[in-house]
Amino acid sequence: MPTLPSDDTVPAAPDACDDAPYDLAVVGAGPAGLAAAVAAGRLGLRVALLDSAARTGGQFYRHPAPGLGARRPEALHHAWQAYADRAARLEALVAAGRVDHLAEHHVWAVTGAAGEWSVHAALGPDGADQRRTVRAAKLLLATGAYERQLPFPGWTLPGVVGAGGAQAMLKAGLVLPGQRVVVAGSGPLLLAVAGSLAAAGAEIPAVLEASGYVGYTRRPATLAANPGKLAEGAVHAAALLRHRIPVRTRSAVTEVHGKDRVEAVTVMRLDRDWRPVPGTERRIPCNALAVGHGLVPQLEPATGIGCATRLTPDGTHALVVDDRQRTTVTGVWSAGESGGVGGAELALLEGELAALDIAGRDGRGRTSRARRRDRLRGFADAMAVAHAPRPGWTAWLDDDTDVCRCEEVTAGQVREAVAELGARDARTVKLLTRAGMGWCQGRMCGAAVACLAGGAGDTASRRPLACPVTLEQLAED
Amino acid sequence: MSRNPRDTSRTPLDLAHATPDPAFEITLDGRPLPALPGQSVAAALWAAGILSWRTTRRDGRPRGAFCGIGSCYDCLATVNSRPNQRACLVPARPGDAVTTQEGTGRADLAV
């Protein structure tokens, strides 16, 4: 694959005083942001790369801190080399003063306009320390995604963890939530998670996929155009075979049992619309459940500065981006999952495409990358449709199931707001019940509340602050 | 090392060929626990088999790490008397005193 630029030299640092705005601020150091910062730095721009974590890589390439002495971090990753190469280039660019890697910077808002963006961050591992504002002429948002959750009875019991969460804790902390872990939900991530947990020593009694995998085959042309993705799927399938993990499609965990932690789950067959089929209950003893239903693009701080969003094929919202990764706001680009979930390989490409456009390099390297991007987007859309939640899932909710984990708002309360108080959208439900008003700002319950209120709206919910900040931090300006 | 899929003695540390720096001690509600350098507070607690370290404001139900990436705020803990720290993000440090956070963790402000 051609690199950007093709030789390994690093341009010398320009003379710049500390307060001079950067040419480019990149928010997020996952695959997209990292690739973009490296490409832009090598194309001569002075770049600030901001990320909430201590190390680059984002969620996909999350890896242990040096103290854990992991000599083989790649054992937990697909396509590790793509990360390792860029991390090495970033290090060279940082050493040369071209790129500043601003770790543990939690970006909570962006203000300004093209040519004079101000990126506001709260510092520290948890964003609880002092704050800082970084100024830049151009802005690239590569804020990634978080996991979509659908509630079910018992999902708040300790031991129920996000599938991506279990993966993240394993990748960074080298720990498991339990020794016997059921993996459930929908989407391609489940197979990767089950494979990793098993490789790390967990027993996986079952993987339960609410949809199926036949949806892929309805788009043979998309499959044929993405041999790499098929190979990746085959790697996961082989890992499951090796560990003798049964995969059940059209099945879901409909209840979790246990007093203070997970002791067992009830699994049921689902019909085509994800409605549980009566009489198919089966109990599986386990001490943890890793569950998730695909990913949701992280839209903040983009929506705060007016970037337009679109409804995706699986019912989430993503930023509108054009062929050059430009958002609808002048001077703001997006790459990776914030513009639609599509995986790390796509994110790397989009980051480089954005950097080329930001640096004003139109020709070299653009066409082939754009072609590969479009092919991978096609594959991602096909998968999104195949695994999109179907409306029947709400049949597994009890009235006393918590829907909003933060504010402890039950399905019964949400249904009452809809049926008796006339709420027709998630925002009205929130005002009536407090669902989505807690610490996570509706990230965990948003999909469920929208569904219970009658479906995803045309516009994404707005969060003026991307993460909680203290009044003290706010008052510093 | 055995590659047998049924060999439950295999650990995440084996998988990553990890040889961590020496473990140190943290406490949860006064109970001493080992933590490895580089692990978050939540990871150290998971390694000790502990899955909850907070009770909810309304019903007092136990909670721990859920999303694992700092998005859900379910893993809030009181660390060294400072409440509402995301245990999945905060690195464990030698001598950290983690206490189960009840409700808002601000009982001192109650009227």
Interval A248-299: pLDDT, tens: 999 999 999 999 999 999 999 999 999 999 999 999 999 999 999 999 999 9
- Is it the case that residue A217 has pLDDT exceeding 90? no
Task: Look at A87-96, A153-162, A450-459, B88-97 and tell me which has the smallest mean pLDDT.
Answer: A450-459
pLDDT computed for residue B8 by the predictor: 53
Q: Which of B17, B46, B98 to mutate to test the interface with A (most CBs of A within 10 A)?
A: B46
Rounded CA gap, A119 and A109, in Å? 6
What is the three-class DSSP state of A166?
Answer: helix
pLDDT computed for residue A171 by the predictor: 97
Q: pLDDT band for position B108 (50/70/90)? A: confident
| Tally of CB atoms within 10 A around A281 | 13
What CATH number labels A397-477?
Answer: 1.10.10
Rounded CA gap, B47 and A173, in Å? 9
Chain A interface includes B1 (CB < 8 A): no
Angstrom CA distances, A276 to A205, A212, A234, A268, stand at 20, 15, 29, 6
The arithmetic mean of pLDDT across residues B62-78, rounded, is 96
* CATH class assigned to A149-293: alpha beta
Q: Could you give the count of Cα atoms lying within 13 Å of A87 in the half-sphere of its Cβ?
A: 14
Chain mean pLDDT for chain B: 91
- Domain pair A22-146+296-364 / A149-293, same fold: yes
Side by side, which strands form the sheet with A251-257? A251-257, A264-269, A282-285
* Residue A354: both structure tokens together: 């954005």
Range of the domain at B28: 22-102
- What CATH number has the domain bearing residue B75? 3.10.20.440
Q: Which of A160, A161, A181, A406 to mutate to test the interface with B (most CBs of B within 10 A)?
A: A161
Question: By CA distance, what is A439's nearest residue in B?
Answer: B73
Distance from the A357 Cα atom to the nearest Cα atom in chain B, whole angstroms: 31
- Is it the case that residue B38 has pLDDT exceeding 50? yes
Backbone angles phi, psi at A375, to 5 degrees: -65, -45
Angstrom CA distances, A459 to A316, A438, A476, stand at 10, 21, 32
Rounded CA gap, A467 and A105, in Å? 12
- Cα A411 to its chain centre, rounded Å, is 26
Buried b / exposed e across A99-136, counting CB within 10 Å, b at 16+? bbbbbbbbbbbbebeeeebbbbbbbbbbbbeebeebeb
Question: By CA distance, what is B93's nearest residue in A?
Answer: A67
B85 contacts on A by Cβ (under 8 Å): 126, 128
pLDDT computed for residue B1 by the predictor: 39
Within a domain: B53 = yes
How many structural domains does chain B have?
1
**CATH architecture label of A22-146+296-364:** 3-Layer(bba) Sandwich (3.50)
Within a domain: B5 = no
Rounded CA gap, A197 and A217, in Å? 28
Within a domain: B89 = yes
Question: What is the per-residue DSSP string for A18-34?
Answer: TTSPEEEEEE--SHHHH
B38 contacts on A by Cβ (under 8 Å): 64-68, 173
Interface of B with A in 50-69 (CB under 8 A): 51-52, 56-59, 61-69
- Cα B83 to its chain centre, rounded Å, is 14
Chain mean pLDDT for chain A: 92
The arithmetic mean of pLDDT across residues A360-383, rounded, is 89
The arithmetic mean of pLDDT across residues A119-136, rounded, is 94
The arithmetic mean of pLDDT across residues A224-247, rounded, is 86
Q: What is the DSSP letter of A462?
A: -
pLDDT computed for residue A465 by the predictor: 85
CB A83 within 8 A of CB A345: no
Q: Which of B51, B54, B59, B88 to mutate to test the interface with A (most CBs of A within 10 A)?
A: B51
Angstrom CA distances, A64 to A57, A172, A402, B91, stand at 11, 4, 33, 11
Question: What is the per-residue DSSP string for B32-90?
Answer: EEEE-TT-BHHHHHHHTT----EE-TTT--EE--SSSSSSS-TTEEEETTEEEEETTTS
CB A198 within 8 A of CB A174: no
Within a domain: B42 = yes
Q: pLDDT band for position A471 (50/70/90)? A: confident
For chain A, give every domain's residue range.
22-146+296-364, 149-293, 397-477
Measuring CA to CA, which residue among A316, A305, A354, A313 is closest to residue A334?
A354
pLDDT computed for residue A463 by the predictor: 84
Within a domain: B60 = yes
Type of residue found at A244: R
